Amino acid sequence: MMMRFADPWFLLLFTLIPILVWVYIRRQRKGGATLRFSHLGFVRDLQKRMRIHARHLLFVLRILALMVLILAFARPQSGIKGEEVITEGIDIVLAMDMSSSMLAEDLKPNRAEASKAVAAEFVKGRANDRIGMTVFAGEAYTQCPLTIDYGILIRFLEELNVGMIEDGTAIGMGLATAVNRLRTSNAKSKVIIILTDGRNNTGEIDPITAAQAAQAFGIKIYTIGAGSHGAAMYPVDDPFFGKRYVPMQVDIDETSLRKIAEMTGGTYFRATDRGRLEAIYKEIDSLEKTEIQVKEYTRYTELFWTFVAIALALLMLEMVLANTRFRKIP
C-alpha cells in the first residue's frame, strides 16, 4: 500500500494554519465583552467548573476541518503495487531408459533410481515450463504429457520401474515418441533430454532418423550416456545362491548420442557417477533458461470524498457544540 497526492500544490495552504492560530491566540489575549454582576461568586464558581481548554475546542475542530479539506483538495490517492509476469516458456520432454541394464550400480543406488531422483530435482527447479516424459526399453510410450503440474510429473517419475515394459533398448523409438509430443508445440524453445546406458538394439525407428525428425521440427536434443567406464556391477537373482553381483561391460553408443546432439544443436554428456549426473542436469538447466519479463504497475484509488466527509463531520460537530454545550450568551 502506498499514498500519493495528485495535486500536491494545495498542500502549500498549510502555511496559513500557523497564521490563523496566531490570530486566534492574539484575540483571546485581548479578551472579549464583559457582563456586570452584583457579586463575583457566580463567576468564580463558573470558572472552576469549566475546563480551561474547553473554550478552545471549537477552534481546534475548525482548524482540523480546514486541514482535512486541504488534504482533500490535494487529491490523496492510495495505490496498490502489482506485477504482470510475461513468460516465454520452454517445452521439455524427458526420455528415460528403463531397460534392465539400468539396474547396474555404478550410479548409486543404481542407474534407474539415480536417474529418477536427479530428474525429479531438475523438474522442481524449473518454473513456467511445460515438462513431459516418455519411457523406453524394448518399446516406448508417453508416461506423462506436457504439463505444468510438476507434482503429478514427479509422481509419475517415482512410479517408474525397470521391467514395467518389454526389455531392450529402443533409443530411436524413445526419441520418436518424445518428438511426437513436441511437434505441435508453439513454445519458444523445444527440448528433449534423453538418458540411456546402452545402444539401440530394437525398435522400428533408428536414432538418427528420429534425430532428423527432431531437427525438422526445431527440437533441440541433449543426450546423456549413463554409466562408468569399463565394467559395472549388475545384480542377478541366482536360484541357488540368491542375489549376487556380476560384472557387466558398459556399452554406450557415444558416437550416435553425440551425433544426435550435434544435429539438433544440443550437447552430449557422459555421467560416470551420480555426482556427475547432477552436474549435467544443472548445466542443462542453466543452458535452457525461460525468458521472464516483469512489468510493474500501481493501481490508485481516489480518497477525495473520504477526506471531504471527514471535514464535513468535523464542521458539523463544531456547529452542534457551538449551539449547545458552548453556546454564547448574546
CATH 3.40.50.410 matches 90-289: yes
Is it the case that residue 25 has pLDDT exceeding 90?
no
Domain ranges in the chain? 2-81+301-322, 90-289
Q: Grade residue 48 by pLDDT with cuts at 50, 70 and 90.
A: very low
Contacts 24+ apart (CB under 8 A), 253-256: 253/171, 253/198, 253/199, 253/200, 253/207, 254/225, 256/171, 256/199, 256/200, 256/207, 256/208
- H or E element that contains 13: none
pLDDT number for residue 132: 97
**Closest CA relative to residue 96, chosen from 67, 118, 68, 126:** 118
Kind of pairing between the strands at 90-97 and 76-88: unpaired
Is it the case that residue 139 has pLDDT exceeding 70?
yes
Task: Enter the C-alpha cell of residue 216.
Answer: 525438422
pLDDT number for residue 327: 66
pLDDT number for residue 39: 53
pTM: 0.66
Q: Please state which of the ranges 43-47, 237-241, 325-329 shows the lowest mean pLDDT.
A: 43-47
Residue 174 phi/psi, 5-degree rounding, is -65, -40
Q: Please state which of the ranges 13-22, 173-182, 213-222, 226-235 shows the lowest mean pLDDT.
A: 13-22
294 contact partners, CB below 8 Å, separation of at least 6: 83, 84, 85, 86
What string of DSSP letters covers 108-151? SS-HHHHHHHHHHHHHHT--S-EEEEEEESSSEEEEEEEES-HH
* pLDDT digits 0-9 by tens, 165-188: 999 999 999 999 999 999 999 888
pLDDT average, residue stretch 204-217? 96
pLDDT number for residue 295: 63
* pLDDT digits 0-9 by tens, 64-116: 989 999 998 898 888 777 665 556 679 999 999 999 999 999 999 999 999 99
pLDDT number for residue 53: 55
Task: Enter the C-alpha cell of residue 156.
Answer: 509419475
